[in-house]
A and B are shown apart, each in its own frame.
Chain A
Amino acid sequence: MIKHILKLIWSQFRSNTWVLAELLVVFVVLWFMTDYFLMQGVLMHRPVGYKLDNVYQAVVSLRSSDNPSFIEYEEGSEEPMRNLERIVERIRQHPDVEVVGLSYYSLPYTHSNIGNGVWRDSTRLNIRYMLVSPDYFRVFGIGSILGGSPEELGAKLPGMKNTTDIVISAGIAETLFGRTDVIGSELYSGGDSVPRHIVAVTEPVRNDEYSIGHRHVAFGLFSLPELAGEEEMVEEDLTNVQITFRTRPGIASADYAGKFLREMKRQLMAGNLWVSDIRSYQKVRADYLANSPETGSRKLFSALGAFFLVNVFLAVIGTFWFRVRRRRSELGLRMAVGSSRSGIQGLMIGEGLLLLTLAMLPALLVCLNLVWMDVLSTTVMAAGVGRFLTVSLLTWSVLAFVIFLATWYPSRKASRLEPAEALHYE
């Protein structure tokens, strides 16, 4: 059967060249798009680690100094810090609130973060350093990889200074040790001269679905007085302290954040600090993802992919339409000598699929060469044989489906020909 179709294709090579050329170009383009989508899919399905249901963020703002009700504090006054603590305490005492977490440049789905480095032997790893309060783990439902609860994890957080402990994410353990049961092992952090002992390994965490590098995280204990002393914080910097809280289950409603803010607005003002916004963290995530460049390029690539597929569809349907007309006599003869209608239809569809397969061979050579030239991104996965074959098979299937659709109608028309009428043309 295949040999027979090959002969047919060869005998009409002229009218097939254009379709073949187009299939070749489109195959190469779609191959890379398929790879892109596959890698995005793999990346997005890796765990992010943060549980966001019932989680809200309270955004703290500072009154500007030209505001009439601005209070001028003396330099070095602890009052601004107390004001922040007052706001946190008032949120904590709200009956709906289960737990409040504090952090400093350490929230998921944000662009701001603190970088650091860890060493093991001679391997250096760039990591994200998160300063969080013990309850942060309860807010986001992060436990230790060995099944420990968020509370236990929080109790192990090392302070910012004078400690030889370190809490790391599963990502660091996997990259540096190749396993996650590494409690008690040693690591060097930043410019340390004495090693640190790993006291806990958290579940895998990442900044967001698209992030690759940010799964390497070390956690430290957030303490406002200590941080204020270290960083010479001014009142303005207090707005960088992030307040997140989890409400009790069953409370959430569509506009809970807005309701909470309206109810608490007066109470959540202290000195020059005030809570300007309460955001549902699900929404923070949705906004972050919707506006991330990856989502944009995915939309763009989808549109481009659709464009190329429709072009293939039109090319194939047009070519086969004319082919059926021109080969009426041949098809009539086939029927006369006993081809069934479905046999005729199968012949035409098979011809389309075989054309695709013929175009695929040189196209794969092109792809292979491009892969050789390191055009492929290897940030998610190394470019191996498995990936190459999967992507090739997927690309073939997608195009095969489109070609099947495109040949179906002309081939049905061919199979519906009346043999007598078709032979008439002979």
Chain B
Amino acid sequence: MYKQYLRQAWQLMKQNRFFSAVYIIGTGLAISMVMVMAVVYHIRTANIAPEVNRDRMCYVTNVSFNMNDDKGHLNSCVGPRFAKEVMYNLKTPEAVAVATMTQMMPFTVGDVFMQAPGHDEAPKVSLMGCNDQFWRVYAFTFEEGKPFTEADFQSGLPRAVLTESLSRKLFRKTEVTGQTVLINDVKYIVSGVVADVSGVASDVCADVWIPYTSMAVIMNKMADEKEGSANILVANILLRDADDIGLLKDELAQEVKRYNTTLTEGQVTCNDPVSYVDQMVGSLLRMDVKQTYMTLSIVLLLFLLVPALNLSGLNTSHMQDRIPEIGVRKAFGAPRGTLMSQIFVENMLLMLPGGVAGLLFSYVLVFLFRNLLLSSGVFAMQMGTGGSIFLSAGMLLNWEVFLYAFVVCLVLNLLSSMVPAWRAVKVNITEALNA
């Protein structure tokens, strides 16, 4: 039966080349726009190496230090002392990765230049200070060597992990474990080389990672109550289970309370842990999460509604041409349901090539607009990490994205073909035959 429909639909497609072309372009366009949103959503939220645990991640970013007697407050990120005395004490999380906040680096650390002794090349690099658990939370691909160890971190030893491309730039090779590099003229020893990280993974993206305990700029403030509590770090927390976030919130509040009793100059407040998705969505349009979802749904609705109206118009015109044919079918006893499902299948057949074309086109769009769609924000782009956003096949080609595409096709088809089809099928047999 369906074979018959398909053959018939194929014949119709060939007869009405113009209609078919317009229809396929129309669906392709609609699907590509929705797919851009889907692909971006996927790349931003799915577990993509090295951020392989996004579904279990949450963040503590904002720490405020309120000085006693209303003498003002310092709003910043996590400080080294706060990290040591609060974040590392938490029992709920599986691991706590603490790293420097990329956006704050230019203001506190300034430009970072690297050089290998005996080589001329001294490029400006993007540096990230982190702890040893960072390497447990995030899955980097080590081409060479190992991450720095807990002991290295605790004693603030000068150890560095480089990306492959930076290593090539500095040494013209990647077998550099144990070699010395100069970071702003300070000697570091390379402990490992990792594959380049796309700017898509904005939490970890950098050219070189060092223990933040080796950075004077941060550790000088360790004893300071104010800047030791609020500084330039972020805590990226890996939970055992995504639902533990409530538990963590309570435990964190307890720990902060205890920490505050050790302070004499003021009191500390910090944000409740925010899950990865909320953090991402919230930073997307710089609005709160609810508003962002609202805006995105309106956009999504328009993306579907306008092409659906468009295709409905085409279908109506097409159906009017076919009313006589439908009349004949009805005269020979075809029930409405059969006719409707035939029209549905026909439209689906027209829509699938549009869907494939649309999906491919959406990849092109995502690639062209990647800096706009995938970078973590304005500051990231300003520091040039926007340029390092590259996309791998794994990010684009996977069954989730294909499933999104198919569902969109289905919805669009239902929206655009069913009303005109119903109106055509409802026409009285005699009138239809006369048309």
Contact = CB atoms under 8 A, between A and B. Distances in A.
Q: Do A and B come from one complex?
A: yes
B307 interface: yes
Q: Is the interface of A mostly helix, strand, loop or mixed?
A: helix
A319 interface: yes
A191 interface: no
A326 to B, nearest CB: 7
Nearest to B107: A112
B33 interface: yes
Interface in A269-292: 276-277, 287-288, 291-292
Nearest to A307: B33
Contacts of B18: 321
A303 B111 CA distance: 35
A287 B382 contact: yes
Interface residues of B, number: 41
Nearest to A314: B26
Contacts of B321: 322, 325-326
Interface of A: 14-15, 17-19, 21-22, 25-26, 29, 59, 61-69, 239, 276-277, 287-288, 291-293, 296, 299-300, 303, 307-308, 310-312, 314-315, 317-319, 321-323, 325-326
B306 interface: yes
A317 B307 CA distance: 14
A25 B309 contact: yes
A400 B18 CA distance: 23
Contacts of A66: 186, 216
Interface string B310-353: 10111011101100000000000000000000000000000000
Contacts of A276: 110-111, 113
B200 interface: no
B29 interface: yes
A421 to B, nearest CB: 19
Nearest to A22: B309
A326 B318 CA distance: 11
B317 A308 contact: no
A315 B317 contact: no
A66 B305 CA distance: 61
A15 to B, nearest CB: 6
A319 B314 CA distance: 6
B184 interface: yes
20 contacts: A15-B316, A18-B310, A22-B310, A25-B305, A26-B306, A61-B110, A62-B110, A64-B216, A69-B185, A307-B33, A311-B30, A311-B307, A312-B310, A314-B314, A315-B26, A315-B313, A318-B314, A321-B19, A322-B320, A322-B321
B274 interface: no
A18 B310 CA distance: 7
Contact of A18 (B217, B303, B309): B309
Given A64-B216, A67-B185, A322-B320, A59 B302 contact: no
B312 to A, nearest CB: 5
A315 B314 contact: yes
A29 B305 CA distance: 12
B316 A315 contact: no
Given A276-B113, A310-B29, A319 B305 contact: no
Interface in B1-39: 18-19, 22-23, 25-26, 29-30, 33
Nearest to A292: B378
B381 interface: yes
Contacts of A307: 29, 33, 303
Contact of B372 (A15, A300, A311): A300
Given A22-B309, A314-B25, A315-B310, A65 B185 contact: no
A319 B111 contact: no
Interface of B: 18-19, 22-23, 25-26, 29-30, 33, 110-111, 113, 124, 184-186, 216-217, 220, 302-303, 305-307, 309-310, 312-314, 316-318, 320-321, 365, 369, 372, 378, 381-382, 386
A63 B309 CA distance: 63
Contacts of A59: 111
Interface residue SS majority, chain B? helix
| Closest 8 pairs (CB-CB, A-B) | A18-B313, A322-B317, A22-B309, A315-B310, A318-B314, A291-B381, A318-B22, A66-B216
A307 B32 CA distance: 10
B110 A14 contact: no
Contacts of B26: 311, 314-315, 318
Given A22-B306, A291-B386, A300-B372, A67 B25 contact: no
Contacts of A321: 18-19, 22, 317
Given A64-B216, A315-B310, A18 B29 contact: no
Contacts of A308: 306
A236 to B, nearest CB: 9
A277 B123 CA distance: 12
Nearest to B33: A307
B378 A291 contact: yes
B276 to A, nearest CB: 22
A22 B313 contact: yes
Given A311-B26, A319-B313, A29 B302 contact: yes
Nearest to B419: A18
B217 A64 contact: yes
A302 to B, nearest CB: 11
Nearest to B109: A64
A8 to B, nearest CB: 16
B217 A277 contact: no
A203 B111 CA distance: 34
Given A25-B305, A314-B29, A326-B320, 10 more contacts: A18-B309, A22-B306, A276-B111, A291-B382, A296-B372, A300-B372, A307-B33, A311-B306, A317-B22, A321-B22
A25 B301 CA distance: 12
Contacts of B309: 18, 21-22, 25, 315
Given A25-B305, A25-B306, A63-B184, A18 B316 contact: yes
Contacts of A277: 111, 124
A67 B307 contact: no
A15 B320 contact: yes
Nearest to A323: B317
A362 to B, nearest CB: 15
Nearest to B158: A66
B313 A19 contact: yes
Contacts of A325: 321
Q: Which of A26, A303, A317, A318 has the most CB of B within 10 A?
A: A318
Nearest to A277: B111
Given A300-B372, A314-B26, A65 B220 contact: yes
A231 to B, nearest CB: 15
A314 B302 CA distance: 16
B317 A318 contact: yes
